[in-house]
């Protein structure tokens, strides 16, 4: 009867169960701009070198080794955001951790802030959660660019934290860790251990903060979240990244709070873009890297799992559907969730529906005439009426065939 005990253990740690469950969250980059929506190809598609208007053998030139299945999109396009939120929902993902650059206008920070607010609307419509990974390196960059006086870095950080508390931390859809809002910090890369308490001291309740494992000393009282451990341009073997995850698990065994890390691969474009040397390489292993890191996270002590990432095309850590890998990662997540959670009823065919709807919205010559009709199909998908939506979508697809 040991297998029954094993199934019960997994059941009580999974999304959709009645006991305290693991949350599966995807790290999300809201920073892409397309010419069709924003009037230009943003830096994250070009990195000031690649030309997305150039298409060779059906392959658009992008700052990535990989191509989105829905083609290069805009993070402020409601149709792309609708598609992403529905894909997450049907894959069994509980929400997104937004890679967030604060509230000040500098570089593309304001665009990322706007896009984050836009995507949150679709996450909430899908019944999903959201949280923030704050990039405090933005403060360093603003000080260097003389956008922000050095002496104003802490007051600015306090302003950012107050904005988060007022606008997002208290949102019912915001992820809570116990009775505290979850806040990841990618680093920290600017604020020191002495400064962070000043930033969060006025927040009630104070956020539950998490830093990268090697930088937790810079964020007092924080837990640790894992990330693909590439560094120094090295090619990581499974033994390398398993040791990294072993070390993270040991921190949990020692009583530290951690967020488990799941990743599919790491294959950045930085050297090809002439920005700097590659951080390194972590092989996909025909999907086994994702399967193995996911299995470790599911069996581990961490209550929260972060998938790194949904869509960082520059670093090649994507699990959203791509031309190269199709729905591989989402089908894996979906299958694992469906085997354990009887309330979860989505199937691989459902993952095709948001993409089909997106492509119809973009390619249907009668889009203006049929837009309300497509909106009704979207509502069916958000309401889990996938059988109805599939029938209508297939009929339209056969007519248009984009």
Tokens standing for residue 278: 């590659």
**pLDDT at res. 369:** 66
- Please state, for a pLDDT cut of 90, what percent of the chain lies above it: 87
In the chain, which residues have pLDDT < 50?
1-20, 402
Task: Please report, for residues 266, 269, 330, 352, the alpha-carbon distance to residue 65 in angstroms, rounded to integers and kept in the order given.
Answer: 11, 7, 19, 23
Domains, the chain, in order of start with CATH, read 17-342 (3.20.20.80), 347-402 (no CATH)
Distance, CA of 328 to chain centre: 16
Location of structure tokens 């309401």: 383
| 10 close to 16: Cβ distance less than 8 angstroms | no
Angstrom distances, CA of residue 137 to CA of 100, 147, 198: 11, 14, 17
Q: What pTM was estimated for this model as a whole?
A: 0.93
Query: What pLDDT, on the 0 to 100 scale, is given for residue 8?
Result: 35
Contact 188, 144 (CB under 8 A): no
What pLDDT, on the 0 to 100 scale, is given for residue 367?
63
Q: How many CA atoms lie within 13 A of 230 on its CB side?
A: 21
The per-residue pLDDT for 368 is 65
């Amino acid at each position: 009867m040991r297998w029954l005990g094993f199934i019960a253990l997994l059941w009580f740690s999974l999304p959709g169960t009645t006991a305290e469950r693991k949350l599966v969250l995807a790290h999300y980059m809201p920073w892409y701009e397309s010419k069709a929506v924003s009037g230009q190809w943003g830096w994250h598609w070009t990195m000031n070198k690649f030309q997305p208007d150039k298409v060779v053998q059906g392959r658009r030139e992008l700052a990535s080794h990989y191509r989105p299945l829905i083609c290069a999109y805009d993070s402020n396009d409601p149709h792309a955001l609708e598609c992403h939120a529905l894909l997450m929902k049907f894959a069994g993902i509980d929400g997104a951790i937004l890679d967030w650059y604060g509230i000040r206008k500098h570089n593309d920070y304001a665009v990322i802030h706007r896009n984050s607010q836009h995507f949150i609307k679709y996450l909430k419509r899908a019944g999903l959660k959201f949280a923030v990974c704050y990039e405090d390196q933005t403060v360093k960059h603003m000080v260097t660019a003389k956008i922000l006086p050095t002496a104003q870095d802490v007051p600015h950080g306090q302003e950012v934290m107050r904005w988060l508390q007022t606008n997002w931390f208290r949102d019912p859809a915001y992820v809570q860790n116990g009775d505290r809002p979850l806040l990841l910090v990618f680093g920290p890369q600017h604020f020191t251990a002495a400064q962070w308490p000043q930033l969060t001291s006025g927040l009630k309740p104070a956020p539950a903060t998490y830093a990268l494992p090697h930088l937790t000393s810079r964020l007092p009282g924080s837990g640790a979240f894992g990330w693909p451990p590439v560094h120094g341009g090295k090619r990581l073997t499974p033994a390398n990244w398993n040791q990294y995850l072993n070390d993270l698990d040991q921190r949990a065994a020692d009583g530290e709070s951690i967020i488990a890390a799941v990743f599919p691969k790491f294959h950045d474009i930085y050297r090809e873009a002439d920005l700097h040397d590659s951080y390194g390489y972590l092989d996909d292993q025909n999907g086994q890297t994702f399967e193995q890191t996911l299995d470790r996270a599911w069996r581990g002590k961490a209550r929260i799992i972060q998938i790194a990432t949904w869509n960082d095309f520059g670093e090649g850590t994507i699990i959203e559907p791509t031309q190269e890998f199709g729905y591989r990662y989402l089908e894996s997540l979906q299958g694992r969730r469906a085997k354990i959670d009887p309330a979860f009823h989505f199937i691989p065919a459902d993952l095709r529906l948001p993409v089909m709807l997106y492509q119809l919205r973009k390619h249907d010559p009668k889009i203006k005439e049929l837009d309300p009709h497509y909106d009704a199909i979207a509502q069916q998908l958000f309401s889990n009426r996938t059988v109805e939506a599939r029938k209508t979508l297939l009929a339209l697809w056969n007519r248009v065939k984009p």
